[in-house]
Amino acid sequence: MTATTTTTGPEPSASPDLSKPVGDPPLLEVRNLTVTYGGTVPAVRGVDLRVEAGQKLGIAGESGCGKSTLALALLRLLPATAKLTGEILLDGEDVLTMKWGRLRAVRWAGASIVFQGAMHSLNAVHRVGDQIAEPILLHNAKATPAAARKRAGELLEQVGLPAARAQAYPHELSGGQRQRVMIAMALACDPRLIIADEPTTALDVMIQAQILRLIEQLVADQDVGLIMISHDLAVLADTCDRLSVMYAGRVVEEGPARQVYAEARHPYGRALSAAFPRIGDLASRRAPRGLPGDPPDPAALPGGCTFHPRCPVALDSCATEDQELREAGGERRAACVLVDAPAADDSRSTS
Ligand code: ADP
Ligand code: MG
């Protein structure tokens, strides 16, 4: 397979458009983001991410790896005990230095989040249509309650529910329907980026597949960017273009989603992909394997490579030497000393 990089930037010979900087910034660029809770719990440590419009980035990792902290940090939705450093550039504008008024405008309209537990995130005593209408009214001073309710009905239809379900209370809906309502809410203000934090984890497999297809369809139709967070690498490989695998607050592997799933370069990526086989794999060679142990407590990280205590191929040096992300062939990067070793190179193409 030939890897060609296509750039869609301006032609070098084209006369420059002085109204904006050369080369549009990506939709989202996160640079060296750290989040520390209470001064002692480094839950996110130096994460870099990039999402273009229309692109779907998956973030994988076991529970406790810092995925939700990262998602919430992107819109500064963390508690005051969390200290953030780095840059979160949304269309080139840093979320971390935005004034509150601007931040409120960016939440929902610039980027919006779909959370895992729809039952807990929706308000039990309000009709779902009113809950979808709320951000529309909040963000558009000209919107009338009637217009916002009408839009709520349209949004429900867009996520596959009859507009009349706007009258329902959350408890009158199934888990899958509630998650559709959450997605309708996330779409309410036409965001450019949707962050979905384990959007299907609480749902059964059939409903999970429907919701994933719905999210994919919406992203394709509206040319928004998507960050999809899951512990299930197989789900992300099916849904996303690119994948970042997190361990102990860091990205330890990144690259094209299917490649990362099929032949991860970091031992943690390999363990995750073996733990979550695709349906087709179950009937064939790949048996699911668990990874012994748990991710480390961020308040007491092991020295060296934080994965070394669980790593099946760790060298002695891994107990003392930390690893940064390094080139791992093609568009891939991995934070493992063995990426450079011939033994870890067997999956790389010979071209
Ligand atoms: P994930 O979403 O990958 O499961 P989280 O971002 O929820 O991971 O958590 C990462 C780490 O941060 C965990 O060790 C968790 O205990 C810790 N953590 C999460 N929220 C808080 C908080 N509000 N205060 C202190 N520690 C927290
Ligand atoms: Mg989480």
The predicted-structure confidence for 157-183, as pLDDT tens digits, reads as follows 999 999 999 999 999 999 889 989 999
- Domain-located, residue 3: no
pLDDT of residue 48: 97
In angstroms, the CA 148 to CA 139 distance is 11
CB 247 within 8 A of CB 307: yes
Kindly state whether residues 337 and 266 are assigned to the same domain. yes
Give the rounded percent of residues in the chain with a pLDDT score beyond 90: 67
In angstroms, the CA 104 to CA 98 distance is 10
Identify the DSSP state of 1.
-
Substitution site in 69, 197, 228 for ligand 1 pocket (most atoms within 8 Å of beta carbon) = 69
Last residue of a domain, one of 139, 155, 182: 182
Going by C-alpha positions, the residue among 322, 349, 321, 326 that lies closest to residue 339 is: 326
* Any atom of ligand 1 within 6 Å of the Cβ of 308: no
Last residue of a domain, one of 137, 153, 182: 182
- Domain-located, residue 310: yes
Kindly state whether residues 339 and 235 are assigned to the same domain. yes
In angstroms, the CA 82 to CA 328 distance is 33
CB 139 within 8 A of CB 103: no
Kindly state whether residues 225 and 272 are assigned to the same domain. yes
Kindly state whether residues 61 and 96 are assigned to the same domain. yes
Atom index in ligand 1 nearest the CA of residue 62 equals 3
In angstroms, the CA 149 to CA 132 distance is 8
Kindly state whether residues 27 and 94 are assigned to the same domain. yes
Substitution site in 33, 36, 40, 41 for ligand 1 pocket (most atoms within 8 Å of beta carbon) = 41
Most trustworthy range by pLDDT among 17-31, 173-187, 265-279, 300-314: 300-314
pTM: 0.87
- Domain-located, residue 106: yes
Domain count, the chain: 2
- Domain-located, residue 8: no
pLDDT of residue 109: 87
Average pLDDT, the chain: 87
Give the rounded percent of residues in the chain with a pLDDT score beyond 70: 86
* Any atom of ligand 1 within 6 Å of the Cβ of 296: no
* Any atom of ligand 1 within 6 Å of the Cβ of 69: yes
pLDDT of residue 16: 41
Provide the CA 168 distance to its chain's centre, in angstroms.
Answer: 30
State in Å: Cα 13 to ligand 1 middle: 49
Kindly state whether residues 52 and 138 are assigned to the same domain. no
pLDDT, tens digit, for every residue of 85-122?
999 999 999 999 999 999 988 998 899 999 876 667 88
- Domain-located, residue 18: no
250: domain CATH number is 3.40.50.300
pLDDT of residue 286: 52
* Any atom of ligand 1 within 6 Å of the Cβ of 67: yes
- In sign, the C-alpha dihedral spanning 269, 275, 278, 284 is positive
Domain assignment of residue 176, given as a range:
124-182
pLDDT, tens digit, for every residue of 319-351?
999 999 999 998 999 999 999 765 444 444 433
Question: Which residue shows structure tokens 């998602």?
Answer: 71
CB 133 within 8 A of CB 151: yes
Kindly state whether residues 130 and 270 are assigned to the same domain. no
pLDDT top residue among 281 and 131: 131
pLDDT, tens digit, for every residue of 195-237?
999 988 878 888 888 888 989 988 888 889 999 999 889 999 9
- Domain-located, residue 230: yes
Kindly state whether residues 284 and 202 are assigned to the same domain. yes
Last residue of a domain, one of 138, 155, 182: 182
pLDDT top residue among 276 and 189: 189
Atom index in ligand 1 nearest the CA of residue 70 equals 6
CB 215 within 8 A of CB 113: no
CA-nearest residue for atom 19, ligand 1, is: 69
In the predicted model, what is the mean pLDDT of residues 314-322? 96
* Any atom of ligand 1 within 6 Å of the Cβ of 230: no
pLDDT of residue 203: 80
Tell me which amino acid residue 260 is.
Answer: V
- Domain-located, residue 5: no
CB 135 within 8 A of CB 185: yes
pLDDT band at 248 (very low <50, low <70, confident <90, very high): very high
Which residues are CB-contacts of 101 (< 8 A; sequence separation ≥ 6)? none
Compute the CA torsion angle 131, 133, 136, 137 (nearest 10 deg): -100
Kindly state whether residues 97 and 133 are assigned to the same domain. no
pLDDT top residue among 292 and 154: 154
* Any atom of ligand 1 within 6 Å of the Cβ of 301: no
CA-nearest residue for atom 21, ligand 1, is: 37
pLDDT top residue among 125 and 341: 125
State in Å: Cα 63 to ligand 1 middle: 9
Kindly state whether residues 131 and 101 are assigned to the same domain. no
Question: Which residue shows structure tokens 């440590």?
Answer: 45
* Any atom of ligand 1 within 6 Å of the Cβ of 298: yes
pLDDT of residue 205: 82
In angstroms, the CA 132 to CA 299 distance is 38
pLDDT, tens digit, for every residue of 31-47?
999 999 999 999 999 99
**3-state class (DSSP) for residue 110:** coil
pLDDT of residue 281: 55
Identify the DSSP state of 295.
P
In angstroms, the CA 182 to CA 202 distance is 13
pLDDT top residue among 293 and 308: 308
Angle among Cα 228, 240, 351 to the nearest 5 degrees reads 140
Kindly state whether residues 220 and 316 are assigned to the same domain. yes
Kindly state whether residues 150 and 255 are assigned to the same domain. no
- Domain-located, residue 333: yes
- pLDDT at residue 304 tops 50: yes
In angstroms, the CA 115 to CA 324 distance is 30
